[in-house]
Amino acid sequence: MVALENKKVLVLGLGLSGVAASELLRSKGANVLALDTADNPQLRQDAEVLRRQGVVVELGAQTVPAGHFDLAVISPGVPSQNPIFATLREAKVPCIGEFELGYQHSLCLNVSITGTNGKTTTTELVERLLRQHQVKTLAAGNIGTPVCRIVEKTRELDFLTLEVSSFQLETIEYFRPAIAVLTNITPDHLDRYPNMADYARAKARIFQNQQAFDWAIVQSEALAYLRSLKVEIPSKVITYSSNNRRADLFLERGMIMGRMDGWSGPLLNMDQCRIFGPHNAENLMAALAVGKILRIPLESMVETLTTYAPAPHRCELVAEVNGVKYVNDSKATNVDALQKALLSMPFVRAGDPNVWLIAGGKDKGFEYHDVGPLLSQRVKGALLIGETRDKIRAAWSLFTPCTQMDSLLEAVSEAAKHAAAGDVILLSPACSSFDQFQNYQHRGEVFRQAVMNLKGAGKGVNPAEREEQPNRLTEVTKLK
């Protein structure tokens, strides 16, 4: 732990992480200057709170202030290309992230979860598992609560359960999880990383400080990819997969199976769970593996995990109106998450598409063509919103009818006009939300409210009325 008393520390980037870092630094006696390149009402409000605690705050900053700094603490949203961040590195100022700062001052072990998709669900499963078995823990990190905010609480904890993003892992130094989970690696954040290999290496930093007696729980496909990049994992490894039956934990006909010492054969029946789909089977496998390492009895784990309900905005059934299901999967901010959502949607008849897909948002540098064959099997029509709607339409129009919409509310209304009993209207954007919304939760709540308005107004369209309406989606396709 680095002593902070009377040290001059610069915090770059406010928001939740920057505010929490500034407050922790002040509590440790540091002299803190907090900078943010933006200047808006929320930041001004945060700045006033920090100033009352003795933090110097500059908003709209474009350069590093003159003077010497002993340390810089970088918020995860600040990329390495940021000019102020680059200047600090050139000046040889030690730079760490808010996550690393919180870790250095925490007083307990941690179980940490990273990966492209499934991080939050797995973090919640692990936290629930530990709490149900009298292991004192709190969930923090990328799940919403900065680690710096709960440092003092770690005196009373056995473990922190941490969700960790690749952004947070970029600026670690000593961070070391006793148990590290890697859920998967699929394309994401390619607006920040030059290529998939760099993104994967950022994820793999979760293992870099582990020792031989620590544990890594890794999806077998992700492990194979890391090995192709010559990334070594120094700890003991447990593998899992919904597709690879050679993994230590695997899926067979809806049953999670084990091939480990003392865990051979059936472990958990997915039919008994409140979450579904192969991707959630993998999240459950990761939680089971954590429990095994911590010597929690299997029977007790099964009881705890089967009663877990999915968090909001993750393939969440909002309502069913006139036989049409409305599903909120706003958390799907990449193409792999969309693919998993589509595979999880119920069929009416195998081979007949029954999904009206609402997608689009802020571009993260993806190519969208690969999901095309699945769209042709599952999607009746795609309603596209946000800044990526032109790009997505160009990629998907050969596979399903595509219509560009001006808003999410308009897309919900349009889908409702055309959906028949047995159909699913699915919000699964495959993009981030920041072009039109505050975050994915805000986007999901707007969708939920739109559905509730439809339900309350009785706007389920009956079949006779539907036959009289022009099929706008089909017409758009014909005009291309």
Q: How far is CA 32 from the centre of its chain?
A: 31
**Residue where the block lists tokens 């994992």:** 233
Confidence (pLDDT) at 311: 81
pLDDT at 469: 36
Which residues, listed in sequence order, are joined to residue 216 by a DSSP beta bridge? Answer: 180, 237
Give me the chain's average pLDDT, please. Answer: 93
Is 37 in the same domain as 87?
A: yes
Nearest 5°: phi and psi at 13?
Answer: 95, 125
| Mean of pLDDT values over 247-255 | 97
Asked whether residue 464 carries a pLDDT value surpassing 80, the answer given is: no
**160-166-171-176 Cα dihedral, nearest 10 degrees:** 40
Co-location of 431 and 343 in the same domain: yes
Indicate whether 449 belongs to any domain.
yes
Tens of pLDDT, residues 315-368 = 999 999 999 999 999 999 999 999 999 999 988 887 899 999 999 999 999 999
User: Alpha-carbon distance 93 to 86, whole Å?
Assistant: 10
The answer to whether 112 and 164 are in contact (CB under 8 A) is: yes
Within a domain: 99: no
Closest C-alpha to 476, from 426, 427, 409, 418: 418
Domain boundary among 306, 335, 353: 306
Find the mean pLDDT for residues 255-271: 96
Clarify whether residues 223 and 279 are in a common domain: yes
Coil, strand or helix at 23: helix
- Do residue 196 and residue 290 come from a single domain? yes
What CATH number did the domain enclosing 432 receive? 3.90.190.20
In this prediction, residue 349 carries a pLDDT of 83
Residues 6+ apart with CB under 8 A from 209: 172, 174, 175, 176
162's enclosing H/E stretch is: strand 159-163
Rounded-to-integer distance, Cα 414 and Cα 258, Å:
46
Q: Residue 100: inside a domain, yes or no?
A: no
Task: Give the CATH number for residue 301.
Answer: 3.40.1190.10
- Residues 49, 111, single domain; the answer is no
119 and 65 in a common domain: no
| Distance (Å, whole) CA 281 – CA 340 | 12
Q: Is 209 within 8 Å of 176 (Cβ atoms)?
A: yes
Identify the three-state secondary structure at position 150. Answer: helix
- Quote the DSSP letter at residue 439: S
CATH number assigned to the domain comprising residue 87:
3.40.50.720
The sheet carrying 56-59 orders its strands as: 56-59, 31-36, 8-12, 71-74, 95-97
Q: How far apart are CA 354 and CA 349, in angstroms?
A: 9
Rounded Cα distance between 52 and 173, Å, is 31
Strands (DSSP E) along 24-147, which ranges?
Answer: 31-36, 56-59, 71-74, 95-97, 109-114, 137-141
Specify the residue for token string 């865990």: 263
Q: Which of 41, 46, 45 is nearest to 14 (CA)?
A: 46
In a shared domain, residues 177 and 34 = no
Four-residue CA torsion sign, 45, 50, 52, 56:
negative
Residue 473 has pLDDT above 70, yes or no: no
Pairing label, strands 355-359, 236-241: unpaired
Q: Residue 473 falls within a domain, yes or no?
A: yes
Does residue 177 sit within a domain? yes
Same domain, 43 and 134: no
Of 308, 330, 328, 331, nearest in space to 318 by CA:
328
Q: Are 358 and 415 in contact (CB under 8 A)?
A: yes
Mean pLDDT of 189-216: 97
DSSP letter string over 83-114?
HHHHHHHHTT--EEEHHHHHHHT--SEEEEEE
The total domain count for the chain is: 3
Residue 310 has pLDDT above 60, yes or no: yes
**Is 98 part of any domain?**
no
Note down the domain range covering 291: 106-306
Domain end among 284, 306, 328: 306
pLDDT digits 0-9 by tens, 98-149 = 999 999 999 999 999 999 999 999 999 999 999 999 999 999 999 999 999 9
Helix (H) or strand (E) holding 255: strand 255-260
Residue 1 lies in a domain: no
Same domain, 63 and 147: no
Residue 259 confidence class, pLDDT cut points 50, 70, 90? very high
**Is there a single domain that holds both residue 447 and residue 333?**
yes
Determine what percent of the chain is predicted with pLDDT higher than 70: 95
Check residue 3 and give its pLDDT: 87
Among 64, 93, 122, residue at a domain's last position: 93
Sign of CA dihedral 75, 105, 234, 122: negative
State the distance between the two ends of the chain, measured CA to CA, in whole angstroms. Answer: 62
Q: Which of 72-86, 123-137, 412-426, 461-475 has the lowest mean pLDDT?
A: 461-475
> Does residue 300 sit in the same domain as residue 375?
no
- Alpha helices by DSSP H, listed for 148-293, are 166-170, 196-204, 220-228, 278-293
User: 2 lies in a domain?
Assistant: no
Count of CB atoms situated within 10 Å of the CB of 8: 13
Distance CA 51, CA 112 (A): 33
Cα 78 to Cα 91, 168, 415, distances in angstroms: 18, 10, 37
473: left (phi over 0), alpha (psi -120 to 50) or beta: alpha
Residue 218 β-bridge partners: 182, 239
Say what the pLDDT of residue 476 is: 33
Q: How confident is the model at residue 479 (pLDDT cuts 50, 70, 90)?
A: very low
Nearest CA-CA partner of 107 in 144, 44, 159, 68 = 159
Same domain? 268 vs 376: no
